[in-house]
């Protein structure tokens, strides 16, 4: 098992330290906004690790991650705007999907821009929110500004997290990745817990 993991991380190290990895960061960040199964955050973290170990430039990794994500979010908006009826019909086929779309629509009406900022850090949630923004015809300029800001913050967070891990474990790409990945999962989990308790407090009438 350890040999398999070492082989996997050695392969990741070879890929992520190549100059071609900049394009991979951009493409995965773009695709993840439309197809939420694509590991864009992992790619940006790996770019940060490579930068921390002296192989890549962290500013370039942040720029390409943020740009790809912003273009992807705007594409998701355009899809929601253009194909609103079939998308809503698809979500309506399953209760769980329908509830997700209803939640996103309700939250966009109440929270608007702040939801676009926080949803960027929730895998899967970001796509529902950006597509819903198109379906509900949110103002396009306002949407573009908030997702642009969200994508810069998201890419900076992921790349800097990787950079810190890469500097801390210069001798081991595996340790750097594990450290950064656990930290990222912990942050996402904390965000989910905060959102959960906010919902409970709001339902109980303790928050406006």
pLDDT (0 to 100) of residue 65: 96
- pLDDT band for 148, please (50, 70, 90 cuts): very high
Instruction: Work out the average pLDDT over 180-199.
Output: 70
Residue 87 lies in a domain: yes
pLDDT (0 to 100) of residue 7: 54
Alpha helices in 136-172 (DSSP H): 140-168
Residue 127 lies in a domain: yes
pLDDT (0 to 100) of residue 5: 46
- State pLDDT tens for residues 12-45: 677 887 899 999 999 999 999 888 877 888 899 9
Instruction: Work out the average pLDDT over 180-187.
Output: 78
Q: Token match 């709001």: residue?
A: 202
- State pLDDT tens for residues 104-145: 777 777 666 778 888 888 766 788 889 888 988 888 998 999
Residue 9 has pLDDT above 90, yes or no: no
From CA 162, how far away is CA 164, in angstroms rounded? 5
Higher pLDDT, 181 or 208: 181
- State pLDDT tens for residues 58-85: 999 999 999 999 999 999 999 999 988 8
pLDDT (0 to 100) of residue 186: 77
Report residue 162 as tokens. Answer: 């990787």
Phi and psi dihedrals of 28, rounded to 5? -70, -40
Q: Token match 């070492």: residue?
A: 6
Question: How many structural domains are present in the chain?
Answer: 1
Residue 40 lies in a domain: yes
Report residue 204 as tokens. Answer: 């109980």
Nearest of 100, 98, 127 to residue 37 by alpha carbon: 127
Long-range contacts of 19-24 (CB under 8 A, 24+ apart): 19/56, 21/46, 21/47, 21/50, 21/56, 22/47, 22/56, 22/60, 22/61, 22/64, 23/64
- State pLDDT tens for residues 150-182: 999 999 999 999 999 988 887 777 778 778 878
Nearest of 131, 97, 99 to residue 116 by alpha carbon: 131
pLDDT (0 to 100) of residue 135: 86
- State pLDDT tens for residues 49-58: 999 989 999 9
Residue 91 lies in a domain: yes
**Which residues, 6 or more positions from 137, have their beta carbon under 8 angstroms from its beta carbon?**
81
Domain region containing 115: 2-203
Helix, strand, coil content of the chain in percent (nearest 5): 80, 0, 20
Residue 178 lies in a domain: yes
Residue 208 lies in a domain: no
Residue 93 lies in a domain: yes
Residue 197 has pLDDT above 70, yes or no: no
Nearest of 56, 66, 62, 58 to residue 20 by alpha carbon: 56
Residue 12 lies in a domain: yes
């Amino acid at each position: 098992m350890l040999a398999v993991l070492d082989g996997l991380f050695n392969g990741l190290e070879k890929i992520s330290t190549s100059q071609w990895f900049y394009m991979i960061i951009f493409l995965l960040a773009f695709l993840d906004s439309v197809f939420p199964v694509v590991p864009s955050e992992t790619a940006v973290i790996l770019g940060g690790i490579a930068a921390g170990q002296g192989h890549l430039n962290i500013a370039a990794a942040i720029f390409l991650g943020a740009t790809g994500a912003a273009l992807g979010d705007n594409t998701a908006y355009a899809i929601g705007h253009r194909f609103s009826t079939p998308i809503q019909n698809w979500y309506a086929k399953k209760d769980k999907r329908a509830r997700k779309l209803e939640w996103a629509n309700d939250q966009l009406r109440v929270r608007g821009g702040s939801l676009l900022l926080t949803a960027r850090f929730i895998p899967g949630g970001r796509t529902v929110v950006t597509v819903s923004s198109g379906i509900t015809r949110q103002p396009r300029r306002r949407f573009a500004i908030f997702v642009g800001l969200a994508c810069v913050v998201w890419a900076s967070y992921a790349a800097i997290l990787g950079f810190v891990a890469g500097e801390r474990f210069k001798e081991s790409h595996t340790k750097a990745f594990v450290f950064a990945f656990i930290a990222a999962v912990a942050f996402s989990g904390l965000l989910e817990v905060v959102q959960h308790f906010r919902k409970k407090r709001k339902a109980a009438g303790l928050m406006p």
